[in-house]
Amino acid sequence: MLKRTITLLGLTITVGALLLTLGCGGSNSNPVAPVSSDQPLVSRQENQPPNAPYLWFPWNGYTIVGGKVTFIFTATDPNGDMLKYRIEVQNGSETKVFNTGYYGSGQWVFFTVSLPVGDYSARVKAIDDKGAEGPYNNPDRVFKVR
């Protein structure tokens, strides 16, 4: 009986020494790095401007009867910001500017305006809710209102 107790005690001491040396969880392959006071804890991503919108309608060379033109377009923002749009419609030397409310990045927008009879060109750009302006879509669309 004494021999068994001594053997069990020896095994317990050996296992304890191994656990103390190696640790219970094995090796720590992903330690938490210490943070020095001169490094920021949160990295801030610079606000990126939205991409040029994709203008689906009006189609180039299209004739619209009745004066109501529905522009259909979408754009994306690299930061996922909300977007508003600036639509410029030009008839000769006259330019009309229309602004939309805010939409989600990648959301399709249907925006209807009334225009008098004439030949027009149009272009659209997106502006995020932080004020960053993206480029106009290219090329401008040319269409007729009859």
- Rounded to 5 degrees, φ, ψ at 28 are -95, 100
* Rounded Cα gap, residues 124 and 111, in angstroms: 11
The domain limits of the chain are: 54-145
* Rounded Cα gap, residues 80 and 114, in angstroms: 31
- Rounded to 5 degrees, φ, ψ at 21 are -75, -45
* Rounded Cα gap, residues 101 and 97, in angstroms: 14
Helix (H) or strand (E) holding 39: none
What pLDDT is attached to residue 2? 55
What pLDDT is attached to residue 132? 98
What pLDDT is attached to residue 43? 56
What pLDDT is attached to residue 17? 54
pLDDT in tens, the chain (146 residues): 656 555 555 555 665 555 555 555 555 555 555 555 665 555 567 999 999 999 999 999 999 999 999 999 999 999 999 999 999 999 999 999 999 999 999 999 999 999 999 999 999 999 999 999 999 998 889 999 99
What pLDDT is attached to residue 5? 52
What pLDDT is attached to residue 38? 65
What pLDDT is attached to residue 45? 75
CATH class for the region spanning 54-145: mainly beta
